[in-house]
Amino acid sequence: MIKIVVIGAMGRMGRLIIQTITEDPDTELCGAVEVFGHKDIGKDIGNLCGLGTLGMPLSDDLEKVITGSDCIIDFSTPKSTLENLPVAAENGTPVVIGTTGLTGRKEMKQIRLYSKKIPVLFSPNMSIGMNILFKVVRDVAKFTKGRFDIDILDIHHRTKKDVPSGTALKLAENVAVARGLDAKKNIHFMRHETNFTRDPNEIKIMASRIGDIVGEHTVFFGGKGESIEITHRASNRQNFAEGAILAAKWLVNQKKGLYSMSDVLGLND
């Protein structure tokens, strides 16, 4: 039985992950954490998540619930994730990070630093289908180099904070790697222009935040007289929760280091 602490417990993903843990015969919830001062601190997490009384209060202190845990699943905020990584490292507890918005150099430097002490799995998208798409896009980008332009369409619900999404950036980075391009120089975001000229090495991201769309990403490859479109649509968040649980089960058996869902699924080249 794998004992899991969930950080960001009262968010949409946190609640769903907790529900998935309680339904999985191989996992057990051993702690639920939210930010300091959250209105529900001290209340039973089972009642808060509609699961009935579990006898486990929602906490605002990871140190109080980490003892005896096998893994942490963190779907919180960049600030919270970076604050809790040292606690995980001190306790030797592996961490699965699904927090969005962790795209800055300093943030990734911190994650890499702590992955030298404990196993850390970071993925901007826990979906099995999307991680397969990452590999497919790398392959298509490689074989269409010099022949096809590339655009990425990123659509999410209107309350999503980060634009573009970490998933869209990861798709663009996969294209850049496959084509031997500098991601910093060649990934651009759609903007108003009156004298646009297409750069053959440009990887452009277009983003929309509308309605309650869970997540949709399309990669367009446009050539002469033909085009390729590859789309992934998430109709609900259950696939993300199940991916996170799968990642936790895999990570508890790994040595210290930084991993991704591609490692879990055996998709790395």
Catalytic residues: 156, 160
Name which of 206, 102, 221 is nearest 156 in CA terms: 206
Between CA 247 and CA 3, with CA 215 as vertex, the angle to 5 degrees is: 25
Question: What are 34's two structure tokens?
Answer: 């939210």
Cis peptide before 164 (omega within 30 of 0): yes
**What angle in degrees, to the nearest 10, is found between the helix axes of 128-143 and 238-251?**
90
Beta carbons within 10 angstroms of residue 184's beta carbon = 8
Residues 141 and 186: beta-carbon distance below 8 Å: no
Helix (H) / strand (E) containing 86? helix 78-91
Instruction: Tell me which residue has tokens 């399309």.
Output: 218
Name which of 258, 244, 253 is nearest 107 in CA terms: 258
